[in-house]
Amino acid sequence: MQRGISSSSLLIGIIEEIEIHRIKHPELSFYGADRTETTELVDSIRQNGLLHPLIVRTSGDFFEIIAGCRRYNACRRLGLRKVICHVVELDDKSAFEVSLIENMQRRNLDPIEEARAFRSYVSDRGWGSLTELASKISKSTAYICKRLSLLELPEELLKQVSSGRIYPSTAEELIPLKDSNERHRIAGMVIKNGYSSRQTRTLVKASQDEPDSDYGLNSYQDKIVDLELKAARSFDKSITALKIAMSKISSIAEAVEDNWIIYEILLQHRNMLNAQIDVLIREKKKLR
């Protein structure tokens, strides 16, 4: 059970069917400008209806969305005249908290959207401390601090984190770099080469050890490339060895095809080798 406001089911209000033209987006949205409802969401609502009501509050003659913007957009695309809403009366702070909790529970927010929402709550609006926010959303203070620290990074890198091309843990390794130019330079290397958090940590360490020279940085970068090549070759050799073993087992199985028990056993082992090849191929892709 979440602490504080944990879900829409605990809110006091009424369930009401509201005309869609009387519903409006909130003034503050957690989503980026390019975030839209997905085709899958539209198809789901078309086939099954709106399974979870929008959470809204009264705003003059209209109803302002607290949680469910993407569902609202999907309903508009479908041309629905009315939608089911959970109407509650909340002040700005409580509405923000409910919206944040709902979005985090549904995992609707990417790491950068989370970070900007945290900053808005703590710094921009001054609604509470890091500890108070952590209690509201059932996260640790360290989690919130790490998310907030991401906002110190270059915008180019933030976009990569938002899109999922770079893990937040990788981006966090760049935070110790205080020089903005150096941070931007290494961020470019990370984006270009798709470095892991461990590899990024190595580059950052090299930069800090020899801040006035590219030698240490380039040296570490060369080591990373060498290690990746060796790892890739080891996977290739292993995959080839398993394919040869599969071929030999197939030949042996064909020779004992009349003995169906032995034949089936050998085929099972060949299939096991094939499955192991698939595993190695997936692990090799992680190196990229």
Q: Residues 183-198: pLDDT tens digits?
A: 888 888 888 887 888 8
SS3 assignment, position 140: coil
**pLDDT at res. 79:** 93
Q: pTM value?
A: 0.65
- Residue 274, both tokens: 């094939």
Please report the pLDDT score of residue 200 as a whole number.
Answer: 86
* H helical segments located in 32-179: 39-48, 69-77, 92-105, 111-119, 130-137, 141-150, 155-163, 168-172
Spans of the chain below 50 pLDDT: 1-9, 212-216
Whole-number average pLDDT of the chain: 83
In the chain, the N- to C-terminal Cα span, in Å, equals: 39
pLDDT of residue 142: 92
Domain spans, the chain: 1-106, 110-151, 152-212, 231-285
pLDDT for position 82: 95
Rounded Cα distance between 21 and 3, Å, is 35
What architecture does CATH give domain 1-106? Alpha-Beta Complex (3.90)
Give me the residues paired with residue 152 across strands.
Answer: none
Tell me, what's the pLDDT at 196? 82
